[in-house]
Amino acid sequence: MVQLPTWTALGPTLVLALTAVVLLLVDSIDPDTTNNELLAGVAGLGSLGAVVASAWYLVGGTGMPGENGELITLFGDQLIVDQMALFFSFLIASVLTLVVIASYDYMSEHRYQAEYYSLMLLAATGMTILGSANSLAVAFVALELASLPSYALVAILKTNKSSVEASLKYFLVGALSSGVFAYGISLVYGATGSLQFGAVASALSEGAPVGLLGMGILMIVGGVAFKTASSPFHFWAPEAYEGAPAPISAFLSSASKAAGFVLAFRVFVSAFPMDAVGTTIDWVLVFQVLAILTMFVGNFAAATQENVKRMLAYSSVGHAGYVLIGLAALTGDANSYVLGSGMAHLLVYGFMNTGAFLFIAMVEYWDVGRTFEDYNGLGTEAPLACAAMTIFLFSLAGLPIGGGFFSKFYLLSATVQTGTWLLAASLIINSALSLFYYSRVVKAMWIEDPASGLEIERYPLGLYTAVIVAALVTVLLIPGFGMVSETAETAATLL
Amino acid sequence: MVAVAALLAVTLLGAIATFLVDDEHAAKFATAVSTIPLVGSVAMYYVYLTDYQNVGNALLSPETVAFRQSIDWIELGGYTLQYSVGLDGVSMPLLTLTGVLTTLALVSSWTPIDERQSQFYGLMLLMEVSLIGVFAALDFFLWFVFWEGVLIPMYLLIGIWGGPRRKYAAIKFFVYTNVASLVMFVGFFALVFSLGPSVSSFGLPEIAQALRGGAVLIPVAGITAAQLKVLAFIAMFVGFAVKVPVFPLHTWLPDAHVEAPTPVSVMLAGVLLKMGTYALLRFNFTMLSDVATGEVTAILPFSMPVAIAVIGVFSVIYGAMLALAQRDLKRIVAYSSISSMGYVILGLVAFTPHGMGGATFQMISHGLISGLMFMAVGVIYNETHTRMVGDMSGLADRMPWTVGIFVSAAFGYMGLPLMSGFAAEVFIFLGSFGATETLGSLAPVLTSVAMFGIVIVAGYLLWAMQRTLFGEYELETDYELNGAAFHDVAPLAVLLLLVIALGVAPDLSYGMIQEAVNPILDIGGGV
């Protein structure tokens, strides 16, 4: 077999970036007409290509030191392609594919099609680079590449007030937190004299100014918490997710959150190892506080919502809290197991949460309404879609009809192995609470009587395909969870 | 052996196909599909009787279990999760009961279910898949997936096709059972995780053998091993007791039963309640037999077996008294289920061969009889459109077959000899009367009190029958009474025949049950 040059390891990222450019090219050939099928087709093929490429590399063991290859670092150690980067490329590209397929119907009557798709692909490019970033500078650039298109995407419905308002809020908070993040980076640079993760870590082991470094790390925590919509930096999330077009909410709450987490995993494990900075700043403790706070805030707020999309937005905050366990339980024993549990939950969550938001997109497409009551009796009109939604919701809650059960159990066993009982207790309490509000939607869809005049005439093919594929994957992740957990744990071990 | 996997796969595919069939044909299609697991499970029962000897207990001698299949599934944190199934003398009859009752319940749905049929029948079959899985699974996770897989279809079946207060009943059912699952889950994993490296999988046999083989539990947060065992026992007992249900965790049951349509009630009383007692037998009484027999007491100021027996006996009397106070025929049968399941608890906790064997036999027997009673009430309701005792009388003239079977079933409930209820109760009383090792000097007292429950049962059933079935014909509703259709009465007759068959020849299943429960007693030091 021909040995490919090492830069091809960035395949998924390159495919995404190239597709974004092609989309703009296609549009500039004839800017006055919009060929919806062509644009959605190109975007779909591009994102699917990225899924296939990353899956191919994952299975082939790219970036795995051993027989098949070695750890791949590029551009003077600025980028790294390992199993973790590929795992997240796969996750981000999968979510993107589902969202693109669904957008074909959802956006069919809107303008700015080419811009819509290419912005989404550019954001995804940024997110995958974030997964490969091996230096604070690249991380910052990638973060901006992921964020700037997101602000525009939230506001893509230009005439819709809440969409624009949500985007403005998102942008203001985002700009502020980017500033904080950049300042944090500069402080760390001041303390250690380097930006590359490995170099930062080795500088730390030789001793660094305590106050400067501590402030820097805290600010980086803040930047990460913003990107992952973790408490107390989550305030933008419900607004943005609610105001944005639902496919974009799906994209942001699944893929963007995952990108934030991969950055956090890599920065804190490889640049700020606990044995070097533990005495300066105990970031594990910080994340423990954040995790518990985020779980409770997200779930309790979700339980009080009347609007389904907003409920899902808060539940997405709650899930960020669960994933934070992946950092908060890094107490020294079983580190790769703990990290792996966070990664596995993100992957499963990626499918079930995207599916749930895409179902909301479908409901918006039908123009049914937004509150729980508006969902009454939907099961009689659209049983297949509602069955899929039921799977998403129960899986999100952690019932064993979807992979969410196993990924939550994985997190639970990680807390047990490390003896972080407080995290275990919050996970259990919040999962129980979440079943309450998720099942309200199920009850509305199936058990409540439909409002008079509820009638659904259009069954959009693209949205249906995306929702059903997501549901199938969610269910198949029960028998197939072994593959996810193994890959995640291997990836975490190599970090 | 792939028999169980085939049974699961065929039923699952049938369920999915049923969702796609149009409403008009769903009923017949689903019934036809359900004959496959019916014939399959009966054939397996036959093969079990003829080909398998010395199967023993599924958890304590997993090598000899019938229809065993085991495939590695997931590796997680040093534990192996397996697709692992197998049947012993306890699960085999329950599996066959599931097959039989599902088909009969589907036939009895033809008349009452007239909307969203393909969804109804699809969910019923989906529930059957999970029930088969619950009884066959030998790995905790596999078992738990099926366990929850029963609850969700049940929730929707009550919630969509139920009576006027269906929403309340469905939510109550859902909340009760899920909270119970959570409590059980936490209790079980406290136990497994503190077993530490002595187990390497979540296989129920491995955990049971480790616990009974004296594996050391690692104390956590100042809780000693003995205390941990007792706490885990209590958590699991509470979790399963909701399902059974026993006093005071029973309040969801009458609501669910009254609101659920007849075929769903049949499944609920006939099979779902047995999941609770089955799990109690597998988890509490097999894995933690030392706590169940009162050998390990730790923090308890009282004897665990006596406490459980008192709860069981109280459920017997309390359920029967509540039934006595009802006017709704369905409520009467629902409350009497609480009473009957109390006997199962008493039999289990006696920890004697006949006690435990009789308890298991009672699970089968009560599954058949209560299914029959609910079906009979359903047939009467289909015709009269009322279930209130005061609203009708003298039905015997108009629907002789239905009433005949109803009366026979009621006598079966009261424990008439040569019917399965008699055999079950005799075994239980024989077992618990002499259970001095676990219940001490209270054994005869508790047994005598429980026996008194039969008198109350006779009281309310005879009273209800006398008022509704006999005397002058009178009906308060505007419907004309024309006798039930053949397909409504046929399932009743089949069930009655089974009840009589098991009563005349209990050994059809009692032999295999004894073989499966005796190993539990051997190591646990029972009588």
Q: Which residue of B has its CA nearest to A404?
A: B145
* Nearest neighbour of A447 by CB, restricted to B74, B141, B160: B160
d(CA A288, CA A34): 49
Q: Shortest Cα distance from A389 to chain B (angstroms)? A: 14
Q: In this structure, is residue A218 part of a structural domain?
A: no
Strand partners, B81: B74
B77:A478 CB<8 A: no
Q: Does A438 touch chain B (CB under 8 A)?
A: no
- How far apart are the C-alpha atoms of B13 and B44, rounded to whole Å? 20
pLDDT at A75: 79
CA distance B341 to B277: 8
Q: Which of residues 349-368 of B touch A (CB under 8 A)?
A: none
Beta strands A79-81 and A72-74, pairing class: antiparallel
- Confidence at B525, pLDDT banded by 50, 70, 90: very low
Chain A residue whose CA is closest to B123? A387
Find the radius of gyration of the CA atoms of chain A.
21
Asked if the Cβ–Cβ distance from A482 to B145 is below 8 Å, we say: no
- At B247, give phi and psi (nearest 5°): -55, 140
Are both B511 and B397 inside the same structural domain? yes
Residue B186 lies in a domain: yes
Please answer whether residues A317 and A241 qualify as being in contact, where contact means their C-beta atoms are separated by less than 8 angstroms: no
Q: Name residue A81's beta-bridge partners.
A: A72
- The rounded distance, in Å, linking the Cα atoms of B41 and B97 is 9
Identify the CA nearest to A62 among candidates A83, A46, A78. Answer: A83
How many CA atoms, within 13 angstroms, populate the side-chain half-sphere of residue A271?
Answer: 29
Segment A222-247 mean pLDDT: 88
- Give yes or no for residue B389 having a pLDDT over 50: yes
Which domain range does residue A383 map to? 282-495
Q: Which residues contact B125 (CB under 8 A, 6 or more apart)?
A: B11, B14, B15, B18, B30, B33, B34, B102
| Total tally of structural domains belonging to chain A | 1
Give the CA distances from residue A109 to residues A34, A455, B154, in Å, rounded to whole numbers and listed in that order: 11, 21, 41
At A73 the pLDDT is: 77
Report the run of H or E that residue B74 belongs to, with start and end. strand B66-76
Using the 8-state DSSP alphabet, how is residue B525 labeled? T
Rounded to the nearest 10°, the torsion over CA A313, A439, A432, A221 is: -10
Report yes or no: B168 at the A interface, CB cutoff 8 Å: no
A401 contacts B149? CB cut-off 8 A: yes
Could B167 and A443 be called an inter-chain contact, meaning their C-beta atoms sit closer than 8 Å? yes
Whether the bond between A232 and the residue before it is cis, its omega within 30 degrees of 0, is yes
Distance from CA of A133 to the nearest CA of B (A): 28
Angle, CA of A475, A154 and A101, to the nearest 5°: 40
**Least CB-CB distance to B186: which of A428, A447, A478?**
A428
Q: Is the pLDDT of residue B242 over 70?
A: yes
Range(s) of the domain holding residue B121 = 1-243
Which of B208, B243, B278 is at the close of a domain?
A: B243
Chain A residues with beta carbon closer than 8 angstroms to that of B144: 400
H/E run at residue A180: helix A161-192
DSSP B246-285: -TTS-THHHHHHHHS-HHHHHHIIIIIHHHHHHHIIIIII
CA distance A409 to chain B (A): 10
Listed residue (A400, A378, A398) closest to A389, CA to CA: A378
- Kindly state whether B156 is in contact with chain A, defined as any CB-CB distance less than 8 angstroms: yes
CA distances from B120 to B116, B151, B217, B324 (A): 6, 15, 46, 33
Cα–Cα distances (Å) from B378 to A97, A293, B383, B481, in that order, read 51, 52, 9, 14
Q: What is the DSSP string of A308-343?
A: HHHHHHHHHHHHHHHHHHHHHT-SSTTHHHHHHHHH
Q: In this structure, is residue B285 part of a structural domain?
A: no
Asked whether the beta carbons of residue B159 and residue A481 sit closer than 8 angstroms, the reply is no
Q: Does A333 touch chain B (CB under 8 A)?
A: no
Cβ pairs bridging A and B (under 8 Å): 69
**pLDDT at B201 exceeding the cut of 80:** yes
Three-state DSSP state, A67: coil
Q: Cβ contacts (< 8 Å) between A390 and chain B: which residues?
A: 152
Buried b (16+ CB within 10 A) or exposed e, A259-293: bbbbbbbbbbbbbbebebbeebbebbebbbebbbb
> Nearest CA to CA, how far is A280 from chain B (Å)?
29
pLDDT tens-digit map of B411-452: 988 888 889 989 999 999 999 988 888 888 888 899 999 998
Reported pTM: 0.91
- B348 and B476 housed in the same domain: yes
Residue A186 lies in a domain: no
Quick check: A394 contacting B, CB < 8 Å? yes
Of B138, B294, B147, B143, whose CA–CA distance to B208 is shortest? B138
DSSP letter for each residue of B113-173: --SSHHHHHHHHHHHHHHHHHHHHB-BHHHHHHHHHHHHHHHHHHHHHH--TTHHHHHHHH
Is residue A168 less than 8 Å (CB to CB) from chain B? no
B256 reaches A (C-beta below 8 A): no
- Looking at this protein, which amino acid is placed at residue B438? T
Joined together, the tokens standing for residue B381 give 């309701």
All residues at 6 or more sequence positions from A23 whose CB lies less than 8 Å from its CB, including other chains: A39, A42, A43, A46, A114, A117, A118, A121
Range B477-484 average pLDDT: 76
Whether residue B174 lies within 8 A of chain A, CB to CB, comes out as yes
Of A423, A254, A232, A231, the residue nearest A327 (C-alpha)? A423
Give the model confidence (pLDDT) of B149-183 as tens digits: 999 999 999 999 988 889 899 999 999 999 999 99
Q: Is B77 on the interface with A (CB under 8 A)?
A: yes
Structure confidence by residue, pLDDT tens digits, A443-467: 889 988 887 777 777 888 889 999 9
DSSP-assigned letters across all residues of A29-64: HSTTS--HHHHHHHHHHHHHHHHHHHHHHHHHTTT-
Contact assessment for residue A102 and residue A40, using Cβ atoms and an 8 Å cutoff: no
What do you get for the CA distance between the two ends of chain A, in Å?
28
What's the whole-number mean pLDDT along residues B23-44? 93
Question: Which tokens go with A275?
Answer: 């044995």
Q: CB-CB: which of A413, A414, A432 is closest to B182?
A: A432
Query: What radius of gyration, in Å, describes the C-alpha atoms of chain B?
Result: 22
B80 within a domain of the structure (yes/no): yes
Which residue has tokens 């196993």?
A406
Give yes or no for residue B281 having a pLDDT over 80: yes
CA B343 to chain centre: 13
Rounded Cα distance between B109 and A143, Å, is: 59
Q: Are residues B428 and B497 in the same domain?
A: yes
Query: Is B263 within a domain?
Result: no
N-terminal to C-terminal alpha carbon distance within chain B: 35
Q: What is the amino acid identity at position A363?
A: V
Confidence at residue A1, expressed as pLDDT on a 0 to 100 scale: 46
Is A420 part of any domain? yes
More confident residue, A160 or A299: A299
Average pLDDT over residues A215-234: 88
Nearest to B167 among A409, A413, A447 (CB): A447
| Nearest Cβ partner for A482 among B74, B144, B160 | B74
**Is there a domain that residue B292 lies in?**
no
Closest Cβ opposite residue B170 in set A380, A447, A481: A447
CB-nearest to A446 from B19, B160, B186 is: B160
Q: What does the block give as tokens for B430?
A: 């024989």
Q: Which helix (H) or strand (E) holds B67?
A: strand B66-76
Could you read off the pLDDT of A193-206 as tens digits, one per residue? 888 888 888 888 77
Residue A336 touches partner B, C-beta closer than 8 Å = no
* Nearest neighbour of A486 by CB, restricted to B19, B75, B152: B75
Q: Tokens in use for B36?
A: 């496959």
Residue contact A482–B75, C-beta within 8 A: yes
> pLDDT per residue over A319-346, tens digit each?
999 999 988 888 877 788 889 899 999 9
Residue partners of A123: CB distance under 8 A and separation at least 6:
A145, A146, A147, A149, A150, A153, A251, A256
Is A208's pLDDT higher than 80? no
Same domain, B236 and B346: no
For residues A338, A411, B206 and B11, what is the CA-based torsion angle, rounded to 10 degrees? -130
Judging contacts by C-beta atoms under 8 Å, the chain B residues touching residue A376 are none
Compute the distance between CA of residue B37 and CA of residue B98 in angstroms, rounded to an integer: 9
User: What value does the mean pLDDT of chain A take?
Assistant: 87
Compute the mean pLDDT over every residue in chain B, rounded to the nearest whole number.
89
Dist. CA B498–CA B494, nearest whole Å: 6
pLDDT confidence of residue B114:
86
Say if the Cβ atoms of B74 and A481 lie within 8 Å: yes
Q: Cβ contact (<8 Å) for B119 and A448? A: no
> Is B110 in CB contact (< 8 Å) with chain A?
no
Distance from CA of B85 to the nearest CA of A (A): 15
Same domain flag for B219 and B324: no
Phi, psi of A454 (to 5 degrees): -70, 115
Q: Is B166 on the interface with A (CB under 8 A)?
A: yes
Tell me what pLDDT residue B85 has: 92
Sign of CA dihedral B349, B353, B354, B359: positive
CA B154 to each of CA A411, A486, B121, B247, B252: distance values in angstroms, whole numbers, following the listed order: 29, 34, 12, 22, 13
- Chain B within 8 Å of A117 (Cβ-Cβ)? no
pLDDT digits (tens, 9 = 90+) for B101-147: 999 999 999 988 888 889 999 999 999 999 999 999 999 999 999 99
